[in-house]
Structure 1
């Protein structure tokens, strides 16, 4: 029985780097699950306020590490990549015309593998990791704005100011529009819990509304 397909193997010289390539290059990687784990790992679930600073710093650090590796691979192999990439079409024609010479074809392919394919396979998992980290970073930014809108909505809802109700309705519409623009937010645990709390008017989220100050009555 064939073994299940795995992601691209990371070269040995990169296995000791900070980035967890096995996580980011795995076929079942989920930016949502990764974002959830970052938020939950840097916050107390019983706290009312969610702090995204630590999670954001972690993602930015990972992005910087990946960018450094991409730059290193590009610098170390750019001459070979440029030179041999321009010869790929010629190599294909050679392969078509030298089928009878198996030894020659094998040697040519070995040369291409060493000079082109190995540098390419080195850069590919780094590129995929960078793409996934960018997706996670974008998700965290959209979550930051969502939490700001929710806090604003709660403050306006419990406010005694005359215009607070109209402002709360406007903010609620902004929240719905933001969720529509970033539907993956619904898959985050912190968002689903806040959505449920808003629908239930959870007292932990909505304290008793402040009383409006009474107007001074006119004199006789």
Structure 2
């Protein structure tokens, strides 16, 4: 502790004030902050004191800090060119150390991403066009299935309407009423089938986008209107 509170001959640029700061003490590799504080408190107090007074210790540390600040300012002003050159070299060294320290982590992250890319992204990018094609194929299959059932119902309606018309003509010369009964039965079946066709179009509204569906629907509607005299609605 005697080195700190006794004058020390330093060759700094700060004049006589430099002599009271032992810079070698603070820059020593084995400098310990806790030991320094303990020694400072002991040096600024006496064993007979009933309490510890930190005022003197704080003033000494504040004085040292101010002197160090002055020294750093003077050094930076007088030797700014060499300090800038040294800082540039130091920056290069630090950058190299940072890159070296993070190189392993960067390689690990890169390998993880490459593994993720091979196991997830590549299969996904490969499967995406196939999935898109399957989605379109599924939609097309649904459309064709809906149209097939629509066309079947439309044929049934037209066939039953034709049968009802034939039976109605036969009823004019049929004395026992069998033909008239057949005509009524065909008309009822045609009406029920038409109701089912209407529900089918409601369940598959996209079918109306097909031109052939609109044409067939128009034919069926016209056929119903022409058969209205037979009771088909």
TM-score clears 0.5? no
Q: Shorter-chain-normalised TM-score: which range?
A: 0.3 to 0.5
TM-score (norm 1): 0.43
Q: Which has the higher contact order (CA 8 A, sep 6+)?
A: 1
If each structure's helix is expressed as a fraction of its own residues, which one has the higher value? Answer: 2
Output the TM-score relative to the length of structure 2.
0.40
- Select the structure of larger CA radius of gyration: 2
